[in-house]
């Protein structure tokens, strides 16, 4: 028999995953629905979100073309790495300012920009960004597909960034990504219909309860498997867990300071009073110790 | 060779469809994206939208359980079939009032209601509603899939209604339906997470330019094939046509008063000054004469 999970160390966690996969064979295929968070679940989110690095790279490119762009307060704070000012402005305001750098751009051009970034930029770990994918999670995606699951990525980040990379990184088609939506404006270019990005989000940021609502509005299918790593994934994990049996809620615990990072995620947008790992243990979710349960974190 | 389109009469229309399918083999598989409108394109929309009939059936059920429900102005007008009052109130207001009949309902219960309606209700043509699907269009869906297209339904109607029937009628999964979204409210039922429908639409009604914007926000893939029948499909057809070559914009002309209905669709929400069939001919789209190009309309 082929080992679908070679980077998963034998033990209780791996047993729980395999028991769920075996039990899923009793479900009709159309009910085999898996949702996975992206940042910190499928790939590394430290020291910062990849998407944020991408937007900062857009800022550097814009300033290189026109230095006056850098005079805006949010951009000045970023360029000077002025942590006090960035803290004062807040992540939300800075992120919205960065989004404006892509306003007016067509979906095709935005995708090209993401592809160039992924091909050229180097992460602080000294590797290209595609190397940040967790190898054991890539194997898990394959194992889910081998059991005829439909696999969806449900990200708190911008949908368009993730769908520009999801086929390459995860084999997930653009239409199988649920995230925070940026609105498009319908326009004409040279007499042909075209779309232009706006700098406005469409609906709520895809975190917490909104993840569950958007899974319904955008997919219309209820997951029996969910994987996440932060407070922003809590409701999605609860929703999947309650759909069973069989069901599996998998929470990654970033407890490997040597090979990755050691931290306990909390949702940005929610006042969680309890560490998500404690919630997971109380709820009976399957907690993945990245240190103990994985023989390796990255592919190479 | 198997004839994939047995209900399409030989001629220029069928030739154009077959030439497009043959040319699509040169496209990478991930670019083989087809979008099809639902009402009037995949199934009959006369004398009224099926979804409207469903909502009216919900009203009758609600009034049977509690007659006082029928006292509301919009409902009274519907129950009395008071065309003058209905015209005065307007379709939008009446439709929004009907949507409230499903507020608070979970996605599972809503889907059950649609399934019961589809199994039990009888259309004015004297057939169950699933028989309203156009057989030649069902064959076209099969031909597109035989050419490895991803097939999406892009409806002006409510997404949730269409995705409750799309697998049965068209073999299209719930997540492959793009339509007008009703917002969900995240709630707890007996300590378990659950979703409840609201009576609010989320974003714009999925007609006209919004169809193109929503194809991007919800699918992130650009179609090279589109099929429609009304002014509300115009921008989607233009968008697909401009993606080629190869591309195909297919417009159904309801010109068969004997076997279906004879009418020229206009979008409800847009002031079109030109019949959509005239736009189609001017733009060089492929116009399907339901009378001349199809040997049969319905399966049986």
The tens digit of pLDDT for each residue in B23-67 reads 999 999 999 999 999 999 999 999 989 999 999 999 999 999 999
Task: Identify which of A192, A216, A235 has the shortest CB distance to residue B184.
Answer: A216
pLDDT tens figures, A83-105:
999 999 988 889 889 999 999 99
Task: Tell me the C-alpha distance between B172 and B161, whole Å.
Answer: 13
Which residues lie closer than 8 Å to A293 by C-beta, 6 or more apart?
A8, A9, A11, A13, A14, A136
Q: Which residues of chain B have pLDDT under 50?
A: 267-269
User: Which tokens sit at B158?
Assistant: 């409510």
Residue A210 has pLDDT above 60, yes or no: yes
Asked if residue A267 has pLDDT above 50, the reply is: no
Contacts of A184 in chain B (CB under 8 A): 213, 216-217
Task: Tell me what pLDDT residue B269 has.
Answer: 43
Which ranges constitute the DSSP H helices of chain B?
A: 12-23, 50-65, 73-79, 83-89, 91-99, 107-120, 135-146, 159-170, 209-214, 234-241, 276-283, 290-293
Chain A environment of B193 (Cβ under 8 Å): 212, 235, 238-239, 242
Residues B187-211: tens digit of each pLDDT: 988 888 999 999 988 888 899 999 9
Give A2's pLDDT tier (boundaries 50, 70, 90): confident
Which percentage of chain A shows pLDDT scores above 90?
Answer: 86
Q: Which residue has the tokens 């102005």?
A: B73
Which among B232, B212, B230, B231 has a CA at the least distance from the CA of B222?
Answer: B212
How many angstroms separate the CA atoms of A222 and A216, rounded? 7
Higher-confidence residue of A275 and A138: namely A138
Best of A33, A203, A213 to mutate (most B CBs within 10 Å, chain B): A213
What's the confidence (pLDDT) of residue B1? 67
Chain B interface disruption, residue of A205, A220, A233, most B CBs within 10 A: A220
Tokens at A36, concatenated: 């996975």
Who among A202, A221, A235 is closest to B174 (CB)? A221
Which residues in chain B touch residue A108, judged by CB atoms under 8 angstroms apart?
A: 222
Specify the pTM: 0.95
Across A88-102, A198-212, A266-280, B209-223, least confident range: A266-280
pLDDT at residue A266 tops 70: no
Q: What is the DSSP letter of B233?
A: G
Name the residue in chain B with its Cα closest to that of A208.
B186
- The Cβ of residue B64 has, within 10 Å, a number of other Cβ atoms equal to 10
* A153 to chain B, closest Cα gap in Å: 13
pLDDT at A72 over 50: yes
Query: Of the candidates B299, B298, B253, which has an alpha carbon nearest to the alpha carbon of residue B279?
Result: B253
pLDDT, position A134 = 98
The backbone region for B189, taken as left when phi is positive above 0, alpha when psi lies in -120 to 50, beta otherwise, is: beta
A126 CB within 8 Å of a chain B CB: no
Contact B257, B297 (CB under 8 A): no
A175 contacts in B (CB within 8 Å)?
150, 152, 175-176, 218-221
Positive or negative torsion for Cα B240, B168, B268, A220: negative
Give long-range contacts, CB 8 A cutoff, 24+ apart: A210-215. A210/B186, A211/A154, A211/A156, A211/A178, A211/A235, A211/A236, A212/A236, A212/A239, A212/B184, A212/B186, A212/B193, A212/B195, A213/B183, A213/B184, A213/B185, A213/B186, A213/B195, A214/A154, A214/A178, A215/A35, A215/A152, A215/A154, A215/A178, A215/A239
- CB contact, 8 Å: B67 with chain A? no
What is the maximum span of chain B, computed from C-alpha positions, in angstroms?
A: 62
Contact A173 B195 (CB under 8 A): no
ipTM of model? 0.93
Q: Which residue of B has its CA nearest to A161?
A: B220
Could you tell me if A229 and B210 are in contact, meaning their C-beta atoms sit under 8 angstroms apart? Answer: no
**Residue B127 DSSP one-character state:** S
pLDDT at A221 > cutoff 70: yes
- Residues sharing a CB contact under 8 Å with residue A173, sequence separation 6 or more, in sequence order: A166, A167, B30, B150, B221
Rounded percentage of chain A residues whose pLDDT exceeds 70: 97
Would you call A173 and B150 a contact, using CB atoms and an 8 Å cutoff? yes
């Amino acid at each position: 028999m082929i080992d679908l999970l070679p980077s998963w160390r034998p033990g209780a966690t791996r047993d729980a995953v395999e028991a769920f996969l075996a039990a899923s064979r009793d479900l009709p295929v159309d009910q085999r629905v898996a949702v996975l968070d992206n940042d910190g679940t499928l790939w590394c989110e430290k020291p910062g979100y990849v998407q944020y690095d991408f937007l900062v790279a857009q800022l550097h490119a814009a300033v290189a073309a026109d230095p006056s762009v850098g005079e805006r307060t949010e951009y000045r704070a970023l360029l000077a790495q002025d942590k006090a000012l960035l803290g004062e402005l807040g992540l939300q305001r800075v992120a919205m300012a960065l989004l404006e750098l892509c306003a007016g751009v067509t979906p095709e051009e935005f995708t090209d920009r993401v592809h160039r970034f992924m091909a050229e930029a180097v992460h602080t770990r000294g590797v290209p960004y595609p190397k940040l994918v967790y190898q054991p999670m890539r194997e898990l995606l394959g194992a889910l597909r081998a059991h005829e699951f439909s696999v969806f990525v449900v990200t708190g980040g911008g949908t368009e960034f993730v769908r520009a990379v999801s086929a390459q990184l995860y084999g997930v088609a653009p239409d199988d990504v649920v995230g925070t939506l940026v609105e498009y404006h319908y326009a004409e270019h040279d007499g042909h219909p075209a779309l232009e990005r706006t700098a406005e989000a469409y609906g709520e940021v895809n975190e917490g309860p909104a993840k569950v609502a958007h899974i319904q509005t955008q997919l219309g299918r209820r997951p029996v498997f969910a994987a996440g790593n932060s407070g922003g994934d809590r409701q999605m994990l609860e929703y999947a867990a309650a759909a069973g049996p069989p069901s599996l809620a998998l929470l990654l615990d970033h407890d490997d300071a040597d090979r990755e990072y050691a931290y306990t995620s909390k949702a940005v947008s929610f006042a969680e009073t309890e560490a998500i790992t404690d919630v997971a243990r109380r709820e009976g979710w399957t907690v993945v110790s990245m240190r103990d349960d994985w023989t390796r974190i990255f592919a190479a």
